[in-house]
């Protein structure tokens, strides 16, 4: 324990957090109250999910074993527990003794121009670049056409859990969702106070119970999704090999490539999709007489 941390501070923080979560009902927090509870209030895993941190991290916070929570984590916990101004000040007084680091810089993600040019040159291969929270940062035209059934192409997890199109587009949606959540848990474990991950997990936890259940599970390694099975409303079924390549020049970013087996029905379907999505070229003007 830090020398500047009073002995009663750790115990006080745990008691404070437990008391505040026990006074909230699931419906107060926007969660469905679907089963009887032996104790009142929210469970630890529910607070953790809504705050965008792992269950083990929040448990350490309540037990006083997490001695350097960031301002962003505390802000997220205060939001979930619906703390008033006085309680927020008390939370910071208990969790943030003088001299501790209180803020981490927000991460700005940009796609390098040569990578954008690279994926745009692949006219027969759907490709896109995602960030550390699986935000979609850049796409090529064929990827846009492939995911045209979705209302937004902004974030892989939001598309999977919030867009109804995912239910028919992914022929193995459950496995795809489990893989995406496991990847996000891995990112969250390395940066528990990342503002984008906190925001995303908080939104998905409130809006989708399936995500909330998956996020509450302990992180486990999930085998890579070698082949994606999809159903596109315009060209039918596709089986595309999925590769996720780490971009060393942009830490946290990945290049996603989807390839069809040459000569396969999926290759024919991609070619058809490309022709449907190709912009119409203006007709050449007729040559003037004498030219």
Mean pLDDT of the chain: 83
Residue 175 phi, psi dihedral angles, 5° rounding: -65, -40
Do 65 and 184 lie in one domain? The reply is: no
What pTM, to 2 d.p., does this model score?
0.69
Do 141 and 200 lie in one domain? The reply is: yes
Residue 79 phi, psi dihedral angles, 5° rounding: -65, -45
Q: Is residue 105 part of a domain?
A: no
Do 262 and 224 lie in one domain? The reply is: yes
CATH number, domain of 150, equals 3.30.450.180
Do 79 and 163 lie in one domain? The reply is: no
Q: Is residue 103 part of a domain?
A: no
* pLDDT, tens digit, 9 for 90 and up, residues 205-227: 878 889 988 887 766 676 666 88
Higher per-residue pLDDT: 260 or 219:
260
CATH number, domain of 87, equals 1.10.260.40
Per-residue pLDDT, averaged over 136-157, amounts to 96
Classify residue 30 as left (phi > 0), alpha (psi -120 to 50) or beta. Answer: left
Give the integer Cα–Cα distance in Å for 251 and 262: 32
Domain end point (choices 41, 69, 95): 95
Among residues 120, 207, 114, the alpha carbon closest in space to that of 155 is found at 207
Number of domains the chain contains = 2
Do 118 and 33 lie in one domain? The reply is: no
Structural domain including 37 reads 7-95
Q: Is residue 58 part of a domain?
A: yes
Do 124 and 173 lie in one domain? The reply is: yes
Q: Is residue 291 part of a domain?
A: no
């Amino acid at each position: 324990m830090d020398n500047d941390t009073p002995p009663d501070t750790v115990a006080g923080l745990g008691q404070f957090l437990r008391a505040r979560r026990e006074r909230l009902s699931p419906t107060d927090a926007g969660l469905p109250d679907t089963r009887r509870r032996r104790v009142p209030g929210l469970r630890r895993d529910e607070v953790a999910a809504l705050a965008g941190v792992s269950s083990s991290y929040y448990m350490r916070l309540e037990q006083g074993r997490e001695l350097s929570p960031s301002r962003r984590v505390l802000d997220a916990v205060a939001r979930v527990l619906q703390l008033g101004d006085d309680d927020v000040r008390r939370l910071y007084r208990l969790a943030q003794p003088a001299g501790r680091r209180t803020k981490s810089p927000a991460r700005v993600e940009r796609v390098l121009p040569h990578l954008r040019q690279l994926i745009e040159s692949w006219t027969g291969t759907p490709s896109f670049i995602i960030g550390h929270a699986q935000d979609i940062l850049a796409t090529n035209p064929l990827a846009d056409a492939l995911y045209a059934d979705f209302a937004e192409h902004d974030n892989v997890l939001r598309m999977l859990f919030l867009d109804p199109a995912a239910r028919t587009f992914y022929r193995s949606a459950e496995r795809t969702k489990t893989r995406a959540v496991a990847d996000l848990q891995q990112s969250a474990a390395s940066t528990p106070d990342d503002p984008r991950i906190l925001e995303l997990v908080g939104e998905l936890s409130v809006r989708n119970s399936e995500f909330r259940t998956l996020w509450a599970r302990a992180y486990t390694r999930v085998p890579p999704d070698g082949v994606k099975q999809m159903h596109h409303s315009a060209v039918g079924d596709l089986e595309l090999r999925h590769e996720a390549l780490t971009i060393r020049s942009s830490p946290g970013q990945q290049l996603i490539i989807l390839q069809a087996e040459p000569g396969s029905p999926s290759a024919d379907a991609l070619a058809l999709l490309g022709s449907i999505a190709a912009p119409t070229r203006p007709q050449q003007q007729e040559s003037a007489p004498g030219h």
